[in-house]
A and B are shown apart, each in its own frame.
Chain A
């Protein structure tokens, strides 16, 4: 069945990547996420609402909170939680000592916020925190991911030589319509939790503690819906999302596809390239498109999330049985993004995005979409390669990247005395 792009109306002879022969072999990595716990789980805090905290895996947003301390920022590996805020900051600090102080403060506050409990009362010596979590904040109901933008690696901080080798301002891709107000930033902080108020309180606390050191450049709240009716949560185009990708329970895969190391400055080992793109969805347009056309664009069923070659949402798409794309079109999103060939296996990366809903545009259309997040061991080998393959895919008429930036999430905060970026600043 031919797949017409609304953009060109030209039949395509076939895509450059993922030709019939090349698609025959399956990718080296089994490509569905069945994350097993890599760390002992901390007890979860009291959370209101109808959602008991269940097991990790399968995209369950009501999974246990991952530990804060460790060799990696382990929150990277967890499926997206129900609520998040994604905040890009510009640094105002002017030298290495001030940057170190800022990151220490940030670490201390994030650690304390995750710990929860009764905030230390200010008495009459100051003013108290936001109070939106009541007298005692939920314990272990929050995760944080901190990442550095290219602006950290400058002469001002004596860090020009320490830059992760792939880090740079975000590339502009052919289908982008970037708004400068939604691009860039020196630090990215993703705060995620079960409940909006926990995330909001954390952001207010962190900002308050770091006022003169950094200023918010842009901020987007995001959310993950609970599964409808089961399996992975759906994005705002109605499709189950986050199904395929590296197995976070498989240390070898995570080592190859998520944690940076080889070729990087030594401090960066165990960190990861964090791509964040704000991708607007033209949902009104999308809702005027038939379900079958939508399914052909993705290569999966809308109701079940199953690949169009059959099975359930966790089944692998079967490209060897479908060399001409009669079931899963050759230019469909999943087939182009991951042709499952040996050559493209190491371009897979960990997708960790959040839906966003942000008001209305100039013609009365809803401004909503996906805060597309991705973690990569090697930015160019993975995200950039996949994004280039996806240029002009049929879906581009319904999605528009409007902002974002490249960041590098440093290795984890090891213990109660460590802080974000300590190895970099040592």
Chain B
């Protein structure tokens, strides 16, 4: 089941959009905050809000002025096509968006604006975006900060480079699988267990969380939960199936078929990776999804079938997140004032993970160990700090 869709685009190429003169060097926006606006005057409700139209012919009509602070517009799509509506300032920084807004639909666009000049942008599907009239916003309230949007074209080279890197990691993974198969055939359980842990680490670096690699990824690293007979289900394959067998006394001879299947599935993935391109949006989402997986699947023990190698997997996942962050840095750093904090938290998390000497898997009747809580808190904080990146870098059409 794909929640956010696989990271692979069909066979289509990445669509490149013309860059519309948005330079980089944006002033940094505020970090995400659920703090409540003290400047809020009216409670939200469509009744008293300015009625603003959004279409190619009448973009922004109905919005003429506003006080700094909380600004809410009741936006109607008067076009016959679906649209994306943005509220941007003169420098092109986006402060709010409604995406999508169907034809004839309306929605409340909520923004926190410092004083300045703004306009709506109506990006109606299959047409060039249209700018609405300029609106002066005055008043002392500080307001939020806007972000210079990113286009697919800006993301494309990064996505391609990242995909190339993932391809390299896959080669390492294939080598890991070969070693594992050799040791399974030799009947060396201790070596096979060590090989499995190594492969877990490598797979973590690939950032396979949340079905990034579709069904093939599930065949490689899926857990037993989706299968009717659970761990006894003959259709369950992959790293976790091997782990289960290796740590539950199953004969190595009986596990070789899973080793061979692993190799096959990795080869399938290799073929897919060489013939399809990563979807930029999915890659951007990956920036917090890898550690979401660390939190929700790995550290919880959901994917622990006996090896107790949570920390090894997390080390791999952190390496994968770090690589992606490093590649996205040229787009993230100028937009995100929290970028330095992300880098710092990533380093702290890796250090705290490395410092764990007596890792204890949490059991239901015990509070988590101090080390577990520290690592859980670190990864949670890191994930929180990473979470604005997809919102900022989601490719937008301008």
Contacts and interface: CB of A to CB of B under 8 A. Distances in A.
A92 B374 contact: yes
Given A122-B391, A123-B94, A125-B146, A208 B40 contact: no
Nearest to B365: A181
Contacts of B40: 117-118, 136
Contact of B32 (A108, A117, A126): A126
Contact of A208 (B34, B336, B373): B34
Contacts of B391: 122, 124-127
Contact of B377 (A108, A117, A118, A211): A211
A215 B44 contact: no
Given A125-B147, A135-B110, A211 B381 contact: yes
B126 interface: no
B16 to A, nearest CB: 21
B367 A218 contact: yes
Contacts of B21: none
A115 B381 contact: no
Interface residues of B, number: 52
B144 interface: yes
Interface size, A (range): 35 or more
A30 B374 CA distance: 48
B304 to A, nearest CB: 19
B388 A181 contact: no
Contacts of B388: 122, 125-127
B381 A90 contact: no
A21 interface: no
A157 to B, nearest CB: 16
B112 A121 contact: yes
Contacts of B31: 125-126
Contacts of A130: 34
A211 B384 contact: yes
A118 B367 contact: no
A120 B144 contact: yes
A126 B144 CA distance: 11
B269 to A, nearest CB: 31
A122 B110 CA distance: 9
A112 B392 contact: no
Given A117-B37, A123-B146, A125-B30, 18 more contacts: A92-B373, A108-B35, A109-B35, A115-B38, A117-B36, A118-B72, A120-B37, A121-B96, A121-B110, A123-B112, A124-B147, A125-B145, A125-B391, A126-B29, A181-B364, A184-B367, A212-B377, A212-B384
21 contacts: A118-B43, A118-B44, A118-B110, A120-B35, A120-B70, A121-B144, A122-B391, A123-B29, A123-B97, A125-B29, A125-B388, A126-B33, A126-B388, A126-B392, A134-B44, A136-B40, A180-B366, A208-B34, A212-B345, A212-B384, A215-B380
Interface of B: 29-38, 40, 43-45, 70, 72, 94-97, 108, 110-112, 144-147, 149, 336, 345, 364-368, 370, 373-374, 376-378, 380-384, 387-388, 391-392, 394
Task: Give the top 5 A-B pairs by smallest Cβ distance, nearest first.
Answer: A126-B32, A212-B381, A129-B34, A135-B44, A125-B29
